[in-house]
Amino acid sequence: NAGVTQTPKFRVLKTGQSMTLLCAQDMNHEYMYWYRQDPGMGLRLIHYSVGEGTTAKGEVPDGYNVSRLKKQNFLLGLESAAPSQTSVYFCASSFGGGSYNEQFFGPGTRLTVL
């Protein structure tokens, strides 16, 4: 099992460009999450999904959109990138919520917006 994979691993964008980050999991997890981590800080939740076809806003959703068309995939989109979105992005999945929300993480995507 590959667990949670993310593509790409690195990306440099210019202000105003768009891109999509792909997250895939092969553990049949219901819940998936997108986080960002800035230097010296913990993770902040951008959006999450509790099942195929569902999405919900997290702590810092502005400037991002997500889609969960297939259970195993969770896409994060930046429509018009800004320098403030320079960060490391982590995707995670879990079996469920509550006591079942042990999260499994991907390796991260380092995004720089110039």
Partner 1 sequence: SQQGEEDPQALSIQEGENATMNCSYKTSINNLQWYRQNSGRGLVHLILIRSNEREKHSGRLRVTLDTSKKSSSLLITASRAADTASYFCVIEDSNYQLIWGAGTKLIIKP
Sequence-ordered list of residues with C-beta below 8 angstroms from that of 42, at least 6 positions apart, any chain: none
Question: How near is the Cβ of 104 to partner 1 at its closest, in Å?
Answer: 7
Exactly one of 59, 82, 112, 114 binds partner 1 (CB under 8 A); which one? 59
CB 88 → partner 1: shortest distance, Å? 11
**Could you tell me which stretch among 14-22, 39-47, 61-69, 75-83 binds partner 1 (CB under 8 A)?**
39-47
CA atoms of 46 and 14, how far apart (whole Å): 21
Q: Quick one: which of 19, 22, 105, 110 contacts partner 1 (CB under 8 A)?
A: 105
The conformational region for residue 51 under phi > 0 = left, psi -120 to 50 = alpha, else beta, is left
Q: Are 112 and 17 in contact (CB under 8 A)?
A: no
Strands of 19-25's sheet in order across:
4-7, 19-25, 73-78, 64-67
- Site membership for partner 1, residue 9 (CB under 8 A): no
Give the x/- contact pattern for partner 1 in 62-101, rule: CB under 8 A. Answer: ----------------------------x-x----xxx-x
Binding site residues, partner 1, CB under 8 A: 33, 35, 40-45, 58-59, 90, 92, 97-99, 101-108
